[in-house]
Every structure is written in C-alpha cells, then in structure tokens.
Amino acid sequence: MLTLNKVMIIGNVGTEPEMRFTPNGNPVTSFRVATNRRYTTPEGERREEAEWFTVVAWNRLAENCNQFLTKGRLVYAEGRLHAHTWEGQDGQKYFRNEIVANRVSFLDRQPVAPLPGEGAEEIGAGETGAGETGAGEVGTGDPEAGEDVPFSDEG
C-alpha cells in the first residue's frame, strides 16, 4: 500500500531559530512559522487568521537555518508531519505536531551587512546548493541521521 506524509508551507518566521545539539552532537534547529488565511464572513466582514507551525531541521540544514533565518523572514518549508509527545515536569502528557524539514528556502530578500568602505548589497532570492550560503534554499537535512503575527501586507 502506498502512503505519503508530506507538508509544504509558506509563511513568516515568527521566532528566532533555536539550535541545540543531541547527545551524539547532531545539530537540531527549531523555529515557528505563521501562515495566514484571509476570508470574508457571511456578514461581509473581512478577517485574517494565523496558523502557527513548528519546523524542526537537522544536521547541515539545522546549521543553515540557525545562521540565516531571522524573525519576519518569508520562508518555504517542506518535510514530513511528526507527532511529538512528551511528559512535562508536572506529570502531564503534552502533544505537538511538528514539520520535520528536509528542505527550507528563503523567499524574500535580506540585506547583507556592508564591508567597511562598501555600500550595502542584497542577496537575491532563489535556490542555492546545500553547501552554499546566502538567500535561497539552505540545503537538506536528514532527521534520522511571541504570538504576534509577524507580517502585515495590507492596511
């Protein structure tokens, strides 16, 4: 029987990425992404609501996400949905769905800090290879080896 577990989202990074390391020394980075949905109620009122996702990246992808992502950046994340359960210090069981990313791409432009004596340049959006730096795709990872809406584009 054929099965599929694939999630693709485009949204704004809502928290600064947090990188930590497993006991084996593998890097893992997590960050939150907000997507928005606009709709009109039956009464004609326009509304917008945000849906929040936790994205988890491993290994080289984790390092790149930690280095290049910042709160507010527009990002594409692709991976699999993983149900994460744990028991808190209070003895309660907790549950959270996470996207375990195997691909992350930057979709906006971010200015680069200028070198002394130079003007600021921008890195363009697009895809780059796993070992490259800058905007675009930050690579792939293999996991087996503030509630503000961070965007508003209409007034």
pLDDT digits (tens, 9 = 90+) for 49-59: 999 999 999 99
* Domain boundaries of the chain, sorted by first residue: 7-113
The model's pLDDT over 77-133, given as tens digits with 9 standing for 90+, comes to 999 999 988 899 999 999 999 999 999 998 987 655 555 554 433 333 333 333 333
Out of 2.60.40.10, 2.60.120.20, 2.40.50.140, 3.20.20.150, the CATH code matching 7-113 is 2.40.50.140
Q: What pLDDT is recorded for position 112?
A: 57
The helix, strand and coil proportions of the chain, stated in percent and rounded to the nearest 5, come to 5, 45, 45
Phi then psi for 52, rounded to 5 degrees? -105, 140
Q: Which residues of 107-123 are buried (b: 16+ CB within 10 A; e: fewer)?
A: eeebeeeeeeeeeeeeb
- pTM for this predicted structure: 0.69
